Structure 1
Amino acid sequence: MNLIELYDTLSLPENDNKVFNAIPIPEFPNFRIAIDFEGNAVLLLSVSKRIKDLSLKNFRLKYLQLEQNLECRIYENDSFILQTFTVVTFRCSDRNLQEYFLRISETLVSTIGQKPTQQQVIDSLKKFVEVFKTLTDSPTNTINGLWAELFLIENSSNPKSVINYWHNLPEEKFDFNAGLERIEVKSSSNFERKHIFSAEQLNPPSDTQVLIASIFLKQHNSGMNIQQLLESISKKVNYDFETTDKLNSIVFRTL
């Protein structure tokens, strides 16, 4: 399942803001990846047995909109169909963020399974939505720091193990924590090894070993971006479900 590739095959609906162009997700006939008239990526979820009095409240975040039990008009296989879906729309034209959304959607679809109940969809969507609640405009230093951490993971001899010790929250004291061994990643775009440390980072427990990875960054048209680093890391861990799920979730929380 590659939702990015599926999404890229879709064209905009013609002059109709109430129609989605959609394509079924292979092996998951109840789900569609779609595009709306604004070019937004849309995930359409359906359940085999709907419970009328059980629903998830509709809402809209900065980039994410969720509408429950919505009757949709879909153009699919050269014809129009009407069907009821839970509609998850990612309202952002930034290509990198769109690809993150589609990657996280792959995890969601795999978690829900082929014939989900209404309750299973709701429970999975609650976790899915939490990932996007912290997604805001990120300052450059946050992007640089994230890139440096991904660069370290991508260049490690055992990316899966390193991801296992990666912080779940950006606010944690060390970027990578394996108990007695810890790594703090610092990045610099001015080619000076001048970094800011917290008191906890400078005074770790006496029985721990802390390594500082100081990485110089310079923007270049032919350099790897965050999306390319993610793809390379995912490939190196053989697209392991739990590992890539954590990888993508941390990226979203950081951004």
Structure 2
Amino acid sequence: MSNLFDSFLALPNASGVGSYQAISLSDRRQDFLGKSAAGAPIFLLHDSSDATYNPGINFRHLSAEFHATCRVQTDGDAIEGQFCLVWCDDSAPELHELFVRCVAAAIEELPDASETKDLESCILRLRNLFRALAAPGVREISGLWAELFVILKSGNPTQALACWHAGQFDKFDFSRPGLHLEVKSTLKRTRSHDFSLEQLQPPMSGAGFVASVMLQMLTGGLGVLDLARSIEANVHGSPRLKQKLWENVALSLGVDFSDLLDKKFDMSYAERGFAMYDMSEVPRPASSGDPRVTDIRFVSDLTGIQSDRPFEVLSAAMSKQ
């Protein structure tokens, strides 16, 4: 599955309606990934229900049709059956890889004998996800890149994904009992970051950290999809975490995904400039003590504060239960 998108790219376009050269996606289900006549990815998900009328689903970038009879040719025998077809807009090729990886992760948890209602529920969740691609992104691309960098370099991507925020309103970027971790990124030459006092509150019992990632744009560098692919390859047997990974990426990109996917950063520069700090080390203003003041925001320069063995500190923080 790690090379699924590359395998998709190698497929021929469909020569006609209802007939596809495709990739088998499961040992327990008859699900396939093919390519439409226009070159867009199309999933064929086996439906074990009796054929009845179910209206199709059409949304920006994503469409679905139920109870379609198709012939599928794989490296093995040809198969003819009843499928739910889920396809991506052929006019947005820059979205195709994200579509393939999001849908592939979502269908891993389908029951062995999926009925129409199971497939419809899965697709409606995907529809909600792709709705995010028609709305403004929830954070800067540099911030998303830095969070993915931290997951990849944590030494425990499964644990890191599990405590990664599940929405834009979560208080910390990574949290679980005993750990608060806030990730900050900068394209400046100084290690200056925006904070709120609330972001520097460690847990009552445990530790709070700030991960500082200094970034430099590089044409030949890595983008968010490159990092997300590497993370997915290190998360085995965890379909829900894979879904969380790709959902967070989609929600972060928003309507500007076409431009943002082209943003790439220098991985070696980020590795050299990575730092980890205890929250208590971050310079901050004193709390006003006035209950009418509910939010204090400030910029703190961490340039002169030493950070020893940052990747070891990160790995230890993520590994503790």
| TM-score normalised over the length of structure 2 | 0.65
Deviation digits for residues 36-87 of structure 1 (CA, Å, limit 9, x no counterpart): 232211112231222525x3x4333222122233455x57469x99865322
2: distance between equivalents of 1:69 and 1:156?
44
Q: Distance in 1 between matches of 2:232 and 2:23?
A: 24
Structure 1 stretches lacking a partner, 5+ long: none
* SS, match of residue 120 in structure 2: helix
Cross-structure match for 1:189 = 187
Equivalent residue letter for 1:115:
A
Per-residue CA deviation, residues 107-160 of structure 1 (Å, 9 max, x unaligned), is 233212442122222222233332222124766962211110000111112222
Aligned to 1:48: 48
Q: Which residues of 2 match residues 98-247 of structure 1 at below 5 A? A: 98-136=96-134, 142-198=140-196, 200-201=198-199, 204=201, 207=204, 209-238=207-236, 240-247=238-245
Aligned letter for 1:106? A
CA shift, 1:239, in A, is 5.2
CA RMSD of aligned residues (A): 3.3
State the structure with more CA Rg.
2
Q: Could you list the per-position Cα deviations for residues 5-54 of structure 1 after superposition, in whole angstroms to 9, with x for gaps in the alignment?
A: 4412312245x6x466331515256322121232211112231222525x
Q: Distance in 1 between matches of 2:185 and 2:82?
A: 48
SS in 2 for 1:121: helix
Indicate whether 1:66 and 2:64 are aligned. yes
SS of the residue 1:145 aligns to: helix
In the alignment, structure 1 residue 38 sits paired with structure 2 residue 38? yes
2:64–2:86: 8 Å Cα contact kept in structure 1? yes
Report the CA distance between 1:189 and its aligned residue.
Answer: 2.0
Unaligned runs of 5+ in 2: 254-321
Q: Percent identity?
A: 25
Q: In the comparison of the two structures, how many residue pairs are matched?
A: 247
Give the partner amino acid of 2:20.
N
Deviation of 1:213 after TM superposition, in Å, equals 1.7
**Which one of the candidate residues 243, 248, 251 is aligned to 1:250?**
248
Distance in 2 separating the partners of 1:141 and 1:190: 18
Decide whether the 8 Å contact of 1:65 with 1:89 is kept in 2.
Answer: yes
SS in 2 for 1:134: helix
Q: CA separation in 1, counterparts of 2:120 and 2:139?
A: 36
Give yes or no for contact 1:71–1:85 (8 Å, CA) kept in 2: yes
* Closer/same/farther in 2, CA of residues 46 and 159 from structure 1, 3 Å limit: closer
Quote the residue 1:88 is aligned against. Answer: 86
Q: After superposition, where does 1:15-34 map in structure 2 within 5 Å?
A: 18=17, 21-25=20-24, 26-27=26-27, 30-34=30-34
Q: Using a 3 Å threshold, how does the CA distance of structure 1 residues 216 and 116 change in structure 2: closer, same or farther?
A: same
